[in-house]
Amino acid sequence: MAHDTLKNANKAKKDEFYTQLTDIEKELRHYKDQFKDKVVYCNADDPFESNFFKYFASNFNLLGIKKLIATSYSGSPILGTQISLFDIQGVKAEKEKEPIKIVINEVKDYNKDGAIDISDVEYLLKHDKNTAKKLKGSGDFRSNECVEILKEADIVVSNPPFSLFREYISQLEEHNKKFLIIGNTNAITYKETFALIKDNKLRTGYTNFNVGMFFVVPDDWEKYHHIDENGNKIARVSTSCWFTNLQVKKHTEDLILYKTYIGNEDQYPKYENFNGIEVSRVADIPIDYKGFMGVPITFIDKHNPEQFEIIGLGISNSGIDIGVQPYKPEHKKYRKEIQKRGAVDGDLYIMENGIVKVPYARIIIKNKRI
DNA sequence: CTCTAGAGGTCGCTATGCCG
DNA sequence: CGGCATAGCGACCTCTAGAG
């Protein structure tokens, strides 16, 4: 038990990634109409540091949201000079880091400076002690009190710890909530996540998927990309993207295809152990191939369910049986070598110039239009 | 108009540590 | 000790602004 706690603490340390306001703005501007009259809940983060809270508090009236709720988590670290800290009435907040719940029902010109903005939210937090309240527990998204708040919410927006992504998303599914969250692009290949994408219950957001995102990390972080104008360490996480079950326009638009299979058959090797062709770049998906095609996971970012049907994943442990065969007897001798590279029996493979090649995780798709 | 450097974007792949 | 998943990394391609 004590061992478990230690392990978890160690794991949690790697989850100290704080989303930058510009990244939140870049993504959220596409969903404006979907937030009207909604109860928005930002959890698994910390209102003292959170740019999510800051974003929704600043744009409360612009988005026309009904209510904003944010809870903090006691495990969250203090990031030095980071972001705007509010002096909150009735809560020993900043230094003690007590887990709290903030509820904003409306934003008016409380400080009578002639404008309605974030300073009015600060004023509210300073002068109205009903705005922020201590939580009983740690503020963990799995705790009873946080689940009760979740029930009241319409849309959850957050950057949950990647290590808890599975648990986090299954909780949102279980409670049938709308959400817009940041996750690891590799999560596409998680069994549970993939099943949701396949059923069109989950899709990626607007922010470019391949570049990754830049997060504020603690001062003692060694692997950082640069230091910003406020002295914050910024790290690049190339495998991060937004996941949502809100509407995303690009996923209703066709991916433009221009290559043909007929005449270029040699560029599309057939898998040795599956009845389909290998398409190693999304841009090379042929316009005229009727059967199964294996494409890189980056395809998911451009997927329109009206255009393509997702059949499954080309890895053996995807949870969906698409009929991938074991190694052919004559290729068994390459097995050890392949396994060294992380592949196992049941993963797709091709032969290239007499050499066994196992592509990175592939999404198996089929064109619906032909 | 051509060339090129740098930024932007795409995607393959492997070292690492956990877990059973 | 092998299976397995991964809050990275880097090679390489593409685009574009600006110089000549």
Query: How confident is the model over A334-351, as a mean pLDDT?
Result: 60
Give me the pLDDT at residue A60, please.
94
Is the shortest CB-to-strand distance from A160 to strand C under 7 Å?
yes
- The pLDDT-based confidence of A35 (bands split at 50, 70, 90) is very high
A145 burial via Cβ count (<10 Å: 0-12, 13-18, 19+): middle
pLDDT at A148: 94
Q: Are A249 and A33 in contact (CB under 8 A)?
A: no
> Where is mean pLDDT largest: A63-67, A89-93, A350-354?
A63-67
Q: Are A284 and A261 in contact (CB under 8 A)?
A: no
Cα(A209)–Cα(A137) distance, rounded to whole angstroms? 36
Domain boundaries along the sequence of chain A: 2-183, 265-367
Tell me, in Å, how far CA of A164 is from C1' of C5? 14
| Residue whose CA lies closest to nucleotide C6 C1' | A186
> What value does the CA radius of gyration of chain A take, rounded to a whole number of Å?
24
- pLDDT confidence of residue A77: 40
Residue A29 φ then ψ, to 5°:
-65, -15
Residue numbers 110-149 of A with CB closer than 7 A to any atom of strand C? none
DSSP string, A35-96: STTPEEEEEEE-TTT-HHHHHHHHTHHHHT-SEEEEEE-TTPPP-TT-SPPP--TT---TTT
Per-residue pLDDT at A276 exceeds 90: no
Q: Which two tokens stand for residue A10?
A: 């160690």
Rounded Cα distance between A127 and A121, Å, is 10
Q: Regarding predicted confidence, which is higher, A134 or A111?
A: A111
When pLDDT is averaged across residues A73-89 and rounded to a whole number, the result is: 43
